[in-house]
Amino acid sequence: MSELRRDPIGGRWVIIETSHPDKPTDFDYEEGRFRSGTCPFCYGNEAMTPPEIDSFRELATSKNSPGWKVRVVPNKFPVLQVEGDLDRRGIGIYDLSNGIGAHEILIETPYHAKDIPDLSNNEVESFISMYCRRALDLVKDKRFKYIMIFKNYGPAAGASLEHPHTQVIALPMVPKNVMEEIKGAHNYFEYRERCLFCDIIRQELQEKERVVLENAYFLAFCPFVSRFPFEVWIIPKKHSSYFCHIPSEDIPFLASILKDLVTRVKKIFPGVSYNYIIHSSPINGDGSTEGYHWHIEFMPKLTRVAGFEWGSGFYVVPTPPELAAKYLREASA
């Protein structure tokens, strides 16, 4: 089992892999590349993964066999495990607990080489619906305080397998950066009695220069304070704290704006790696998340984050969001 450790200085939690640690020779630091060998996520290779948790599949096909469109399996190398107790404890000034949580892989498509721009709108809707279904299931486990849904695409973005997939991690505590966002949004709400994110949407729609795309329910824009060049946020126009509460009639609109965005980014930057993360309110908590507004943060991997950024949390962005938005608007999807 891994350990969750809490930094006594800033209060950050990290996951330390204590039971199956990497040796020095396990690091492939000179070259970014995918793990080699047969792809365990491909259609027909269902036996290569741990047993299926959920799937969308054709009628009369059975679990762990072909016939699926979207498939969810436990991560074969989970950073957290479901069984056991947290057992929070101290060693001198340090705090730690057992690595309890869930770590699932959501295989977005049976096709190894098809990323979001190559899928139909329907196919994108399917895997987004599955994001939602997994979140709604994991929220039932009262030990979990946060569900993180994120995609690493391409080796430079940290993906070890090429086949498009999303990771779903349920955590027994709220991550530091999320907690800060929640607090910041809450402070604004207390002061103004308005949602900060709703105010951001209002200002972006008025100024227009950072808007990339919009449809009836969603806005895609380059944030005024981007941390990375060509960073884009997709946010529901109507206030909502939890991603998993998305109305099913809104999902096609989210699928279409996500597909359009990724297509434009890949048109400007062929073969680029990227990450996106769904930011949503903590779950099973004290309900003090008033004023938080779920959204997706999308970041193409164009620069290497250096020591300065890690050490300071102070980012240098070589392309202003106003200009990035212009390039993205002009790239035809």
The answer to whether 301 and 194 have CB atoms below 8 angstroms apart is no
Q: What is the dihedral of CA 297, 255, 77, 303, to 10 degrees?
A: -40
Draw the binding track, 20-49, toward a copy of itself (x: CB under 8 A; -: no contact).
Answer: -xxxx-xx-xx-x-----------------
Distance CA 85, CA 155 (A): 34
The binding track of 70-99 with respect to a copy of itself, each residue x by CB under 8 A or -, is: ---------x-----------xxxx-----
Minimum CB distance to a copy of itself, residue 296 (Å): 10
Which segment (106-114, 127-135, 137-145, 172-180) binds a copy of itself by CB under 8 A? 172-180
Scan residues 222-251 and list those touching a copy of itself (CB under 8 A). Answer: 224-227, 229
DSSP code, position 268: H
Closest approach of Cβ 81 to a copy of itself, in Å? Answer: 13
> Is residue 290 a contact residue for a copy of itself (CB under 8 A)?
no
Q: Does 172 bind a copy of itself (CB under 8 A)?
A: no
Alpha carbons 81 and 205: distance in angstroms, whole number: 43
| Stretch touching a copy of itself by CB under 8 A, among 41-49, 51-59, 66-74, 270-278 | 270-278
Closer residue to a copy of itself in complex, CB, 122/160: 160
Q: Note every long-range contact of 327-332, with CB atoms under 8 Å and residues 24 or more positions apart, other chains counting.
A: 327/230, 327/268, 328/212, 328/213, 328/222, 328/230, 328/232, 328/261, 328/264, 328/265, 328/268, 329/211, 329/212, 329/213, 331/264, 331/265, 331/267, 331/268, 332/264, 332/267
Nearer to a copy of itself by Cβ, of 60 and 306: the residue is: 306
Per CB under 8 A, the list member of 279, 282, 289, 294 interacting with a copy of itself is: 279
- The answer to the question of residue 264 lying near a copy of itself (CB under 8 A) is no
What is the side-by-side strand order in the sheet with 218-221?
Answer: 54-57, 68-74, 102-107, 165-171, 146-153, 274-279, 295-300, 232-236, 218-221, 211-214
Of the two residues 29 and 59, which places its CB atom closer to a copy of itself in the complex? Answer: 29
Catalytic-role residue among 20, 103, 112, 165: 165
Question: Of 180, 209, 280, nearest to 240 (Cα)?
Answer: 280
Whether 103 is catalytic is no
Among 51, 66, 84, 158, binds a copy of itself (CB under 8 A): 158
**Binding-site string for a copy of itself from residue 207 to residue 226, where x marks contact by CB under 8 A and - marks none:** x----------------xxx
Residues identified as active-site? 165
